[in-house]
Amino acid sequence: MGAGSECRTLTMTGHVGFDSLPDQLVNKSVQNGFAFNILCVGETGIGKSTLMDTLFNTTFDSKPSSHNLPKVRLEAQTYELQESNVRLKLTIVDTVGYGDQVNKEDSFQSIVQYIEQQFEAYLQEELKIKRSLNVYHDTRVHCCLYFICPTGHGLKAIDLVCMKQLESKVNIIPIIAKADNISKAELSKFKQRIMSELKANGVRIYQFPTTDETCAETNSTMNSILPFAVVGSNEFVKVGNKNVRGRQYPWGVVQVENESHCDFMKLKEMLIQTNMEDLREKTHTVHFEVYRKLRLEQMGFLDVDANNKPISYQETFEQKRSLHQAELTRREVEVREAFVARVKVKEQELKEVEMELHMKFESLKKLHAEERRRVEDGKKKLEEDRSEFLRLKTLYTQILNDKQMSHHSSSSGLHTLTLGKSKKK
């Protein structure tokens, strides 16, 4: 067949059976089940947990949080839901303490960090040699419901900053929480003000797809209604002969599932019944691909080389490995040289210390010799003084003895002379 020839269309003479492929895909998907992850971003007490309970017509595990948390904490809870024969693994991520801190900068940083952590976990599983993506629990955030306070005055600065940070990482659907707090006229103006502020600040939110003919018209209409003004309630109120989900006020009842009262049913239809698969697909094909491309480029993997020619994964790996080995060799040489230099410096320091100690030893040795000489001289002088003292002592004793003997002899002569005179008389 030539390069310019067109494909021929053949008519089969009998039934083959590949028209059952859609049914096979449906059966396989039903057998494996589905995963859907919702991130609820909003201030404490704005009604995030209540709306989730209302959306899925059940009661999830949720605990009220205080307003004095030091930082934003993200809590994820996973539930196994089943409707008819379809199983859904639903993960609801709540931003506990969002907007309660004085420094609001950490509020959106914690959310961005959580989303990127889920992307990184999926990427690491994808890069494994032996992958298990068919049984891997996908925790990537498919949809972010951003709860806006029903002030009627427009968005807060934290709302614009946070949505701007999240727009490239997750599908954002803005909703006005507790919409029964403002009148319909104020609500209409509030919606217009919110959309104009988002457009003026370049914030891109999720747009329901209009490429599918079956839901293009509905999705186009819903895009013009954004943001959805919703009311959530876990209570049932009797209206006429029916019990409806709603909120009882002194002036009447706000019916959650009444489209003339709020946009809850529109949100439920768009989020769950019509566009859940598109949210999952866009998360994988758009947001995750952006993150994956950035991370692989950070790792050094590229699709083309410097000459814009395709480059294989193995070539990139080998090139990266060579660069890594060269870097290791260079760092090894640097470490060795630095070690040798430090050893030389240490040796020089030790030599200087040794020389200083030797000089101190010689000085002490001289001082000791001089001290010893002085001691010897003192000892010698003491010996001489002792000898002189003994000589003088001996001499003094001899003189004293001589004096005593002379005195004794004189006394004896005088006594003899006296006796002689007496006899003559």
Q: Assign residue 239 the CATH number of its domain.
A: 3.40.50.300
Per-residue confidence band for 66, with pLDDT thresholds at 50, 70 and 90: low
Helix (H, G, I), strand (E, B) or coil at 407: helix
**Looking up tokens 């999926």, which residue turns up?**
122
How far apart are alpha carbons 90 and 87 in whole angstroms?
9
| Length of the chain, in residues | 425
Of 299, 331, 353, which residue sits at a domain end? 299
Degrees (nearest 5) of the Cα angle 325, 329, 332? 135
Residue 57: which residues within 8 A CB-CB, separation 6 or more?
none
pLDDT at residue number 143: 92
Q: How confident is the model at residue 341 (pLDDT cuts 50, 70, 90)?
A: very high
Q: Which long-range contacts (CB under 8 A, 24 or more apart) does 247-252 make?
A: 247/180, 249/180
Would 285 be classed as within a structural domain? yes
Taking alpha carbons only, the member of 269, 255, 59, 181 closest to residue 51 is 59
Angle between helical axes of 157-166 and 184-200 (0-180°, round to 10): 50
* Residue (of 52, 58, 59, 54) closest to 36 by Cα position: 52
Q: For residues 234 and 372, state if they share a domain.
A: no
Residue recorded with tokens 């509020």: 107
What is the average pLDDT across 119-145?
87
Is the same domain home to 141 and 288? Answer: yes
Residue 46 forms part of a structural domain = yes
Range(s) of the domain holding residue 267: 27-299
Look up the pTM and report it: 0.69
Task: Say what the pLDDT of residue 416 is.
Answer: 59
Which pLDDT score, from 0 to 100, does residue 150 have? 86
- Give how far Cα 76 sits from Cα of 44, 62, 111, 114, Å: 16, 11, 12, 10
Same domain flag for 210 and 314: no
- Which of the residue ranges 11-20, 58-67, 377-386 would you say has the lowest mean pLDDT? 58-67
Mean predicted confidence (pLDDT) in 389-409: 85
Q: How confident is the model at residue 8 (pLDDT cuts 50, 70, 90)?
A: confident
Residues 6+ apart with CB under 8 A from 47: 147, 177, 178, 232
Domain shared by 270 and 334, yes or no: no
In the three-class reduction of DSSP (H, G, I as helix; E, B as strand; rest coil), residue 254 is classed as strand
What pLDDT score was predicted for residue 344? 92
Q: What is the mean pLDDT of the chain?
A: 83
> How high is the pLDDT of residue 420?
58
Residue 257 sits in the same domain as residue 371: no
State residue 5's pLDDT score.
60
Assign 356 a pLDDT band (cuts: 50, 70, 90). Answer: very high
pLDDT computed for residue 412 by the predictor: 65
Please give the angle made by the CA atoms of 303, 308 and 312, to the nearest 5 degrees.
Answer: 35
With cut-offs at 50, 70 and 90, classify the pLDDT of residue 4.
Answer: low
The token duo for 233 is 């309630």
Among residues 289, 177, 282, the alpha carbon closest in space to that of 228 is found at 177
Q: What is the pLDDT of residue 218?
A: 86
**pLDDT for the residue numbered 303:** 67
Does 150 share its domain with 285? yes
pLDDT for 364: 92
Edge-first strand order for the sheet with 236-239 is: 236-239, 242-249, 252-255
Question: For position 95, what pLDDT does the model report?
Answer: 87
- Residue 1, pLDDT > 60, answer no
**Radius of gyration of the chain, Cα coordinates, nearest whole angstrom:** 51
Q: What percent of the chain has pLDDT over 70?
A: 89
The predicted structure's pLDDT at residue 417: 55
Terminal C-alpha separation, the chain? 196
Q: What is the per-residue pLDDT across 143-191, written as a single tens digit (0 to 9) for each?
A: 999 998 888 777 888 888 888 989 889 999 998 888 888 888 888 888 8
The answer to whether residue 246 is domain-embedded is yes
